[in-house]
Amino acid sequence: MPDSPTRSEPRDDDATIGAIGEIAALRRILPRLESGASALLGPGDDAALVAASDGRFVVTTDLLVHGPDFRLAWSTPFELGWKAAATNLTDVAAMGARPTALVVAIAAPPSAPASLLEGIADGLREALRALAPGAGVVGGDLSASDVLTIAVTAFGDLEGRAPVRRSGARIGDVIAHAGARGDAARGLALLFAEATDAAGEPSATLAAELRARHPDLLRAQLAPSPPVAAGVVAALAGATSMLDVSDGLARDARRVAESSGVALDFSSSALGSDPETVRVALAGGEDHGFLATFPDDAAVPDPFEVIGRVVAGDGEVLLDGLDVGADGWDPYAGWDGRSG
């Protein structure tokens, strides 16, 4: 974001992004954001400058695209900003790093209200305050597009530690998980089942009614609050492998199993009290909790819960010793150009 908010602009709360232009839009957004404690130079120049205490930094990026990733009829701008932050913070934390900074690019239709950008900025700010205190937004970009798209790049500081990778799980390790399991999937299923109109289109009115009945499940899908701090906690406790569970526990566990050359065997009794709960825990995505492995003799830290054990194998994911496949979220599976 090359322009800093050095002067006020005449304000029209009903103005569109196209009507006010990029500079005025930036002057509305930037005062709503914070650069964070690691920013040595924030928005205002061609690039930001962020401290990296041990000479390294962790970096990741993610896209949220209207259609496959969210629906404006269901999500508020604030929720979009919150979710854009949360989904990237967990990727950084899953490496055992402390999140330090975000760079955010937004492409939006010129006909969209400027308040859309303000709401996204507010959501980004509040998610950072709640989930990663000290981290901030240090820059980004604005562009025009027919489809609202939010692209976030996140940075993290390992603070002298080795990164926790997917490839470190060892036979005999315990498998542990921190965060919700299946809540986001339940919320999404409710939205598709009860917040679409007769033509099958997302309905803001029906979504509002659904929020009143199932606030926690819809919040888990639209504005998740993953335990970001647990990533560093796991690293300090000696986690041998870890990743952010975004595509479903079974699918993401297979990534650990294949990278480590082992099998991950989950305990059904640890995942739920009935088969449907276990199924949703394994297949449901977007909770953004952490799946980690720890040495058998290690003290598994809070908020992690032991849910299985690493056994001999070649990339399999098991449930009570039986292969469960790798169901979960795939952005290209079944894509028809209209919906996720």
Token output for 261: 């050359």
* Mean predicted lDDT score pLDDT of the chain: 91
Is 244 flagged in the annotation as binding? yes
The interaxial angle of helices 183-194 and 204-213, nearest 10 deg, is: 130
Bridge-based pairing of strands 305-311 and 174-178 is antiparallel
Cα end-to-end span (Å), the chain: 30
Dihedral (C-alpha) 245, 327, 257, 62: value to the nearest 10 degrees? -40
Is 46 flagged in the annotation as binding? yes
Answer whether 127's CB lies under 8 Å from 278's CB: no
- What are 189-238's pLDDT values in tens digits? 999 999 999 999 999 999 999 999 999 999 999 999 999 999 999 999 99
| Confidence (pLDDT) at 2 | 38
Reported in sequence order, the residue ranges of 28-158 that DSSP labels E, i.e. its strands, are: 39-41, 49-50, 58-65, 98-108, 136-144, 149-157
Burial class (CB in 10 A: 0-12, 13-18, 19+), 284: buried
Is 62 flagged in the annotation as binding? yes
Helix, strand, coil fractions of the chain, as percent rounded to 5:
35, 25, 40
Is 141 flagged in the annotation as binding? yes
| Confidence (pLDDT) at 5 | 37
Tell me how far apart the alpha carbons of residues 205 and 199 are, in angstroms, rounded to a whole number: 14
The one-character DSSP state at 300 is P
Which of 318, 298, 314 shows the shortest CA–CA distance to 306? 298
Which of 169, 143, 108 shows the shortest CA–CA distance to 295? 169
Q: Which domains are seen in the chain, by residue range?
A: 17-157 (3.30.1330.10), 166-180+224-323 (3.90.650.10), 187-222 (no CATH)
Which of 219, 182, 183, 199 shows the shortest CA–CA distance to 74? 219
| Confidence (pLDDT) at 327 | 67
| Confidence (pLDDT) at 9 | 46
Is 91 flagged in the annotation as binding? yes
Tell me how far apart the alpha carbons of residues 286 and 260 are, in angstroms, rounded to a whole number: 23
pTM: 0.90
Three-state DSSP string of 63-95: EEEECCCECCCCCCHHHHHHHHHHHHHHHHHCC
Is 140 flagged in the annotation as binding? yes
Is 54 flagged in the annotation as binding? no
- What stretches in the chain show pLDDT beneath 50? 1-10, 331-332, 334-340
Answer whether 222's CB lies under 8 Å from 87's CB: no
| Confidence (pLDDT) at 329 | 55
Q: If residue 270 lies in a helix (H) or strand (E), which one and from where to where?
A: helix 268-271
Residue type, 305: E
